[in-house]
Chains A and B, each alone.
Chain A
């Protein structure tokens, strides 16, 4: 694998390979000495044009546990306003001799552009409202672990239904999850008010739906998306109260779920808005498992990109 830019870059075999390796990596997490020598001497730069505590620390820990030298560079603020072009910033960092650039950017497509300009591996850590492939990988990895509790050898997600609920239009998590989960064979249902369903969603390999209650009982996994504060004032829906009643995972909806169904949320959560405390802390909530899986999956991806003989 040269770069990881999109969840669509991966076929089912590659995804399964990443997951199996992530299972092995997760064993490190339980050890007193959490260090593998796999990427000793390799340099990974987290180049973040947008704030992110979770994703950045997750990549940082993943790199360090693999013994890579990890450097964080915050390039926050528009490069346009600073007068430096994206290309200059990326070339400058790459010129220091890094092996992989983990890029988070507030604008869609920035990691694509970067991958054309430099020789280093590029890993998309979230670009604008476009994609966030490692989030989708850790989500699907968590879901696989959950499903394997009842079917230990499960590989494919055929016959399973994942409902993704919330602001699909502006969600890079939703886009990457749609691509990855459908590659794994799952049926994906997107649920949102019409103002938050993206243009052209009819052409996506999913069901798009505006009625949460209608489809909730079918879901094996219910993935709630964070409502960004600026959408609340942007007129996408009338009030937070109305949103919660229409699209929140409330206690009554918790009870309407299949008994074996599980809950995901990429975080950070708005408790009381898109997800009730009851749902967030429920026994079938996988939310903290997702965070833990993030490190193992990112270790696995970094190893896939950098660990091979070159």
Chain B
């Protein structure tokens, strides 16, 4: 691995400085040999490499939609140096062997660190616990467990999972969706637009009521709970209440829930079909405020690639989900920094430091300081571009931002001392 010298980067919160990198770690620039590879970072900010708590890489099982290689290259292009790969692959990541397979694919093909998320229940069926301990104790060192895509709706199973993962400092990441209040067919925020379009409604109460239950189970069991993709104001209120009670709960919001509203669905374009659904503007405002005040701890992409034909069904029958890795930082900058709700160091906390902490990743979300692992992203704070869904590393094209002008922040991404993405190269 070659040495690297990054010249003149703005280390947010301190001064401009040069950063030396050798053998995957930061070193004093003076310790580098002359004539090493240089990266001119004049006018650029250096942030710790972003960490995504919620990525669907689709491998194994749907390599036509995404692979570990294409998905992590998309991650690198988005400024990420680590992604947590959700368990709803085929086969499901519900055994140590399956987890180690995903980790091995990451080690072989990855443009970012790949950490498997383990299923909470066998086959994501919500009935019996998966082998949580064996996944945690395996080489894959699984710490985040989620049936994402499905809610762990059985209160007893949720309680047992939360209790059990305490043995290895694990966390249960809940996809909160009461299946009685929002069945699998539910695909539009329940309200004026679902009524007008005749689409099965997905009420906010179906999310908030599960979170209200789960924070109380987490309090009872003194366990770590993480709430996936918070989409509505009611859930924010529940999490705020739980945090005031010192419940060990963290939460994430997806970029699309920070900007897009239910009105996108009016044309029945399945590109905008996502679970949980896009909500009206008052919910968008609420999750932005919650991300600003720390009630929501992290931005997580819920990057959900789909083959084109899986999105070209009638709206109610098309696949749920949208791409997110390459545009997450752009959307976060537009909604949180350009609006004045957060500054750059606060955003770095929510997109790198907190997600790394929640997932217990020792080498991610660290300070850009000598001796630390060299994971960083160089950011141009002013650049903008029009998003083109074909300009992507992903194998899929279900990009809801296509045609919109957004910030274009990511100039280069460096993971473990290696340049995994550099604009224009």
Contact = CB atoms under 8 A, between A and B. Distances in A.
Contact of A80 (B191, B196, B268, B313): B313
A198 B195 contact: yes
A269 interface: no
Nearest to A170: B198
Given A79-B313, A85-B313, A87-B312, A112 B194 contact: no
Interface in B336-363: none
Interface residues of A, number: 30
A200 B192 contact: yes
Interface stretch (A24-32, A33-41, A57-65, A102-110): A102-110
Nearest to A83: B309
Nearest to A202: B192
Contacts of A201: 195
Interface in A184-216: 198-201, 203-204
B401 to A, nearest CB: 19
Interface in B181-196: 190-196
A110 B314 contact: yes
B309 A175 contact: no
A78 interface: yes
B313 A108 contact: no
A200 B195 contact: yes
Contacts of A172: 198
Given A200-B195, A203-B192, A107 B314 contact: yes
Contacts of B191: 199-200
Contacts of B28: none
Interface string B298-328: 0000000000011011111100000000000
A85 B198 contact: no
A108 B195 contact: no
Contacts of A128: 198-199, 314, 316
Contact of B198 (A79, A87, A175): A175
A131 interface: yes
Contacts, number: 82
B197 interface: yes
B317 A108 contact: no
A86 B314 contact: yes
B314 A109 contact: yes
A88 B193 contact: no
Contacts of A87: 309, 312
A108 B190 contact: no
A23 B312 CA distance: 40
B313 A199 contact: no
B409 interface: no
B309 A85 contact: yes
Given A88-B309, A112-B267, A113-B268, A105 B314 contact: yes
A130 interface: yes
Contact of B317 (A80, A130, A175): A80
Nearest to B317: A80
Size category of the binding interface on chain B: 20 to 34
Contacts of B316: 107-109, 128
A78 B201 CA distance: 20
A285 interface: no
Nearest to A168: B195
B195 A199 contact: yes
Given A85-B313, A88-B312, A108 B193 contact: no
Given A107-B315, A199-B194, A112 B201 contact: no
Choose among B199, B268, B314, B317 the residue with the greatest number of A CB atoms under 10 Å from its CB.
Answer: B314
Contact of A109 (B268, B309, B310): B268
A129 interface: yes
A105 B315 CA distance: 11
B105 to A, nearest CB: 27
A198 B267 CA distance: 19
A200 B193 contact: yes
A297 B309 CA distance: 36
B192 A108 contact: no
A180 B5 CA distance: 69
A239 B199 CA distance: 25
B312 A108 contact: no
Contacts of B313: 79-80, 85-86, 107
Interface string B249-275: 000000000000000000111100000
Contact of B315 (A80, A108, A203): A108
Given A199-B195, A201-B195, A107 B190 contact: no
Interface string A129-151: 11100000000000000000000
Contact of B268 (A106, A108, A203, A204): A108
A79 B310 CA distance: 11
A108 B309 contact: no
Contacts of A175: 196, 198
A194 B193 CA distance: 18
A203 B268 CA distance: 20
Contacts of B268: 108-110, 112-113
A86 B190 CA distance: 25
Contacts of B270: 113
A129 B192 CA distance: 14
Contacts of A200: 191-196
Contacts of B310: 85
24 contacts: A80-B313, A85-B309, A86-B312, A86-B317, A88-B312, A105-B314, A107-B314, A108-B197, A108-B198, A108-B199, A109-B197, A109-B268, A110-B315, A112-B268, A128-B199, A128-B316, A130-B197, A169-B195, A175-B196, A175-B198, A198-B195, A198-B196, A200-B193, A203-B192
Closest 5 CB pairs of A and B: A109-B268, A200-B192, A107-B314, A130-B198, A198-B195
Interface of A: 78-80, 85-88, 105-110, 112-113, 127-131, 169-170, 172, 175, 198-201, 203-204
Given A109-B197, A113-B270, 9 more contacts: A88-B312, A107-B314, A110-B314, A110-B315, A127-B198, A172-B198, A198-B196, A199-B201, A200-B194
Interface of B: 190-199, 201, 267-270, 309-310, 312-317
